Structure 1
Amino acid sequence: MVTRRIGNAYDSLDEETRRWMLVELDEDEQGGVLYYPPLLTDRGREEYRWLLREALKHHDDAWLAHGLDKPGLLRIEEADSGAVGLTQRKRYGTHERKRIEKPNSEVMGRSQDAVPTDVIENMAADEFNRYYSRGVCRRVLESGLGQVEIYKIEAGANLHLSYPVPGSENADHAREVELGRDIDADYLLGKLRRNPEEETGEALPGAPGSGLSVRLPA
């Protein structure tokens, strides 16, 4: 049975945005900082680079999820053993929290069917959205503009939806995320270039599990 997946709606996803998405990916690879989700096996890491590039170039997060949903590419024992960081456990949801209670020996060697479908889809959506958001930010900055607009693409994880005003370290200056509000593209791009495993306490658009993305300003 073939799983039918529908990708998220990326409002500013066109050839120009894809071009900047690929520039961001190229720079990650050249700098040796390409992020590999921890559920990938060694073979999965090899496949992931090609799958991610093809998804950014021609497809979407649903296509990436379909490409990763194959035997030998993912290992559920990483999630069960606690090797997956807090960010991943938040975004992967209740499936992983329930399975973590089971001994490792019960999950080692299980088939690919043991990986919940929504775990794969969330992982693919997180990584695609991160590069998409970086691409939009880069496009805006290269065009001489400074702001991108926030919008919601899915339910998102259980994170508090606020981000600090750039230049301020005072928590009193935190700003609630509002749909349709603008955020500084340079500030957001810098945050999204960081390793997704780094906990920031911010539900920034484009960040894993936030359910938020950005688009070109109106």
Structure 2
Amino acid sequence: MFNFENLDQKTRQYMLIEVEEAIKNSQLNHSKRFNEQGIQRYSQLLLEAVRNGNEQTLATALQEQECFNSHEKQGAVTRKVPTNAPLTFAEGEFNNFYMRGVCHRAFGEGHMVEIYRAKAASTPRSVSKLIEGNLEDPRRVLLLIKNSLDGSNRGSGMPTGSNSGLSIRLTAVPVQK
């Protein structure tokens, strides 16, 4: 489970703005493992998790609403979708919108954001350990997140997709102009 240090009503409001914008502009990251039900219901389940829940409640809703295919084709082979697919997807997506909300908040308050380990890992990746503690301009972070919805193209200095365990938090350090 993630420890989102700045997940309060103020951050949720910014997150909600980001989710609504993504829905309006058809820029939600739908899992490639979603079935039709998942494609149809995801936006509402995400909105509800942002308003009142977290990555766990989103994962549970995705499971209960049976939003994932049971099998997926990988080349010529058909495999069973991993049982943790809803949780892995929900963690990455909730964290993305959390980071977007924190960026808006930090920008509005004139502060930098810090990369931190938000989910414990028994063996953190060395790349992740290198960027923990880095201070970043929230405008840059927001731009990188929005331009790489699944986290795969953010660059080496940013938290990536679902399995990084990294997020961002507010700091008292003013944004440098």
TM-score w.r.t. the length of structure 2 is: 0.83
- Please report the RMSD computed on the Cα atoms of aligned residues, expressed in angstroms: 2.5
Other structure's SS at 1:117 match: coil
Alignment of 1:131-142 (within 5 A): 131-142=97-108
Alignment of 1:148 with 2:113, yes or no, is yes
Other structure's SS at 2:116 match: strand
Alignment of 1:14 with 2:8, yes or no, is yes
C-alpha displacement at 1:71, in angstroms? 6.2
Is the Cα–Cα contact under 8 Å of residues 133 and 205 in structure 1 kept in the other structure?
no
- Residue 216 to residue 52, structure 1, CA distance change in 2 (3 Å): same
Alignment of 1:121-200 (within 5 A): 121-145=87-111, 147-154=112-119, 155=121, 160-161=127-128, 176-178=130-132, 180-197=133-150, 199-200=152-153
Other structure's SS at 1:35 match: coil
CA separation in 2, counterparts of 1:199 and 1:133?
15
CA separation in 2, counterparts of 1:209 and 1:143?
29
- Residue 21 to residue 71, structure 1, CA distance change in 2 (3 Å): closer
CA separation in 2, counterparts of 1:119 and 1:43?
15
> Partner residue of 1:60?
54
CA separation in 2, counterparts of 1:65 and 1:157?
23
Q: Which amino acid aligns with 2:169?
A: R
Q: Structure 2 unaligned runs (5+)?
A: 173-177
Q: How many residues align?
A: 169
- Residue 140 to residue 197, structure 1, CA distance change in 2 (3 Å): closer
Q: Structure 1 unaligned runs (5+)?
A: 1-6, 83-101, 108-113, 163-175
C-alpha displacement at 1:40, in angstroms? 0.9
% same residue: 31
Q: 1:103 aligns with which of 64, 77, 83?
A: 77
C-alpha displacement at 1:45, in angstroms? 1.2
Other structure's SS at 1:160 match: helix
Bigger strand fraction:
2
C-alpha displacement at 1:38, in angstroms? 1.1
Other structure's SS at 1:69 match: helix
CA separation in 1, counterparts of 2:33 and 2:124?
18
- Residue 71 to residue 116, structure 1, CA distance change in 2 (3 Å): farther
Q: Which amino acid aligns with 1:215?
A: R
Is the Cα–Cα contact under 8 Å of residues 38 and 67 in structure 2 kept in the other structure?
yes
Is the Cα–Cα contact under 8 Å of residues 41 and 75 in structure 1 kept in the other structure?
yes
Q: Which amino acid aligns with 2:168?
A: V
CA separation in 1, counterparts of 2:126 and 2:47?
29
CA separation in 1, counterparts of 2:143 and 2:126?
20
> Partner residue of 2:21?
27
C-alpha displacement at 1:26, in angstroms? 1.4
Q: Which amino acid aligns with 1:45?
A: I
TM-score w.r.t. the length of structure 1 is: 0.68
